[in-house]
Structure 1
Amino acid sequence: MAFEEYLEDPVIQKYLHELVGPKGMPVAAAPPEGEVTDEELAEELGLELNDVRRALFILYENDLASYRRLRDEDSGWLTYLWTFEYDNIPEQLEGEMYELYEGLTDRREYELDHQFYLCEACGIRFEFEEAMDFDFECPDCGSQLESMENTALVDAMDDRIDALVDELNIDVNA
């Protein structure tokens, strides 16, 4: 996929937005080719320098940007030249999908292995042992705790897990 195509892909746009947030999105969504300083980016995009630096650092932490330092021989000041590296975004997204799969399968097991009680007035959910410790009364409002059915939640997890298994070609029989 060409560099420009990455930036047009809505999944990649959402991924970048989740990483850098709305203030950093102009930095992530329109990276120049080659090296650029944070000051040049801030001026070009009309953004606060701190917002640009924050976005660059987040991109750096996620292996989507790199920098090299140059020291001005006269002043001793350091200049950081940034380069954007979006070629590994598909692999990072795939890695996050595997993490989501593992998290959902763990949470599904937790939901199946526990019995829950709900305070309908407060919307607080308790495991059986917690509910028993509170004599099946909400510690916040004193309402009676009701047994909670979580089948719909488990079914939704199953649907998402099945979709991830298909998309990632996971062999669940292995």
Structure 2
Amino acid sequence: MLKNFLNEVISIVVGKPSDSIVRLLEGDKYVNEFIIAKKLDLTINQTRNILYKISDYGLVSSIRKKDKKKGWYTYFWKIEVLKSLEFLKELTIKNITQLRNQIKSRETKGFYVCERCNIEFNEENAMLHDFTCNECGEVFTVKDNEKVIREFKKNEDKLVNKLKLIEEEITTEKARLDKIKMKELKKIEAEKLKQREEKRRIQKEAREKLKKESSKKKPSEKKSSKKKSSTPSKPKKNIKKPSKAKDKKKSKKK
């Protein structure tokens, strides 16, 4: 069902080669534009014109990569499934609205027909032509709207059912994209966690290295301190200063 919807969207935009384009672009991977051109049996310029036309509606996306040898850019394309479905949904809603307006018009207004020329006129135009066909001169007859209304209502039911299916596909596609997004987020988180663990490991190794280096330095410092203490220190000479009391006694004797 999804493929049918995508084919319908692309055929609305570019016409006949929709099936081939959808088959080439419906995957998650971007496809080289030269491969697309080859598969479609078109020139690269013709292929690009088709893709650009679809891109104008936002139904395809592209990335470009530079050829290291030749220096030019090559584009890679893929179909945007969700946007395509939403585009088709809007178009279907528009068609339903138009059809309902036609049903309402048929139920409230009169229509006339020239049976010979099979040309239909609303009441206003029929009055302008005096209820006579300009082509053949035949007098208009009243159109039986009941049959037309029944046909319109059948088409309306089909479009409503189609809209439900499109909405289901949109829900499915959104869920699929959410899963991919969650997977990517988990991958990013895992990568960040890995980087943090690696950083911690490097920091731990650096701390352990510093610890080892500092532990090697401490014994050498102790040895050097022991060597300093082993050298005999010169004894200090005690120089006795004459006390003031003795000086006083000597002065008295005199």
Instruction: Identify whether the pair has TM-score above 0.5, normalized to the shorter chain.
Output: yes
Aligned match of 1:172 = none
CA distance in 1, matches of 2:20, 2:127: 52
* Matched positions, count: 163
Q: Does 1:20 align with 2:14?
A: yes
Match of 1:110 among 105, 110, 113: 105
What is the Cα deviation at residue 95 of structure 1? Answer: 2.6
Give the alignment of 1:7-86 within 5 angstroms: 7=3, 10-31=4-25, 33-69=28-64, 79-86=74-81
CA distance in 1, matches of 2:112, 2:6: 39
Name the amino acid aligned to 1:57: Y
TM (norm. structure 1) is 0.71
Indicate how the Cα distance of structure 1 residues 73 and 100 shifts in structure 2: closer, same or farther if over 3 A, else same. Answer: same
Name the amino acid aligned to 2:51: L
Unaligned runs of 5+ in 2: 165-254
CA distance in 2, matches of 1:165, 1:24: 24
Aligned with 2:98: secondary structure?
Answer: helix
Name the amino acid aligned to 1:110: S
Aligned with 2:136: secondary structure?
Answer: coil
Aligned with 1:30: secondary structure?
Answer: helix
**Segment drifting more, 69-78 vs 119-128:** 69-78
Q: Does 1:96 align with 2:91?
A: yes
TM (norm. structure 2) is 0.52
Question: Greater relative contact order (Cα 8 A, min sep 6): structure 1 or 2?
Answer: 1
Indicate how the Cα distance of structure 1 residues 154 and 17 shifts in structure 2: closer, same or farther if over 3 A, else same. Answer: same
Indicate how the Cα distance of structure 1 residues 51 and 102 shifts in structure 2: closer, same or farther if over 3 A, else same. Answer: same
**Segment drifting more, 23-32 vs 125-134:** 23-32
Name the amino acid aligned to 2:118: G
What is the Cα deviation at residue 24 of structure 1? Answer: 4.2
Higher-strand-fraction structure = 1
CA distance in 2, matches of 1:11, 1:167: 10
Deviations 1:79-101 (A, max 9, x none): 43323222344433333332222
Aligned with 2:15: secondary structure?
Answer: helix
Aligned residues of 1:16 and 1:29 also touching (Cα < 8 A): no
Indicate how the Cα distance of structure 1 residues 154 and 87 shifts in structure 2: closer, same or farther if over 3 A, else same. Answer: same
Unaligned runs of 5+ in 1: 170-174
Deviations 1:33-86 (A, max 9, x none): 533343331123323445423431343233221124567799886643323222
Indicate how the Cα distance of structure 1 residues 165 and 79 shifts in structure 2: closer, same or farther if over 3 A, else same. Answer: closer
Higher Cα Rg: structure 1 or 2? 2
CA distance in 1, matches of 2:29, 2:163: 33
Aligned residues of 2:5 and 2:85 also touching (Cα < 8 A): no
Percent same amino acid at aligned positions? 26
Name the amino acid aligned to 1:55: I
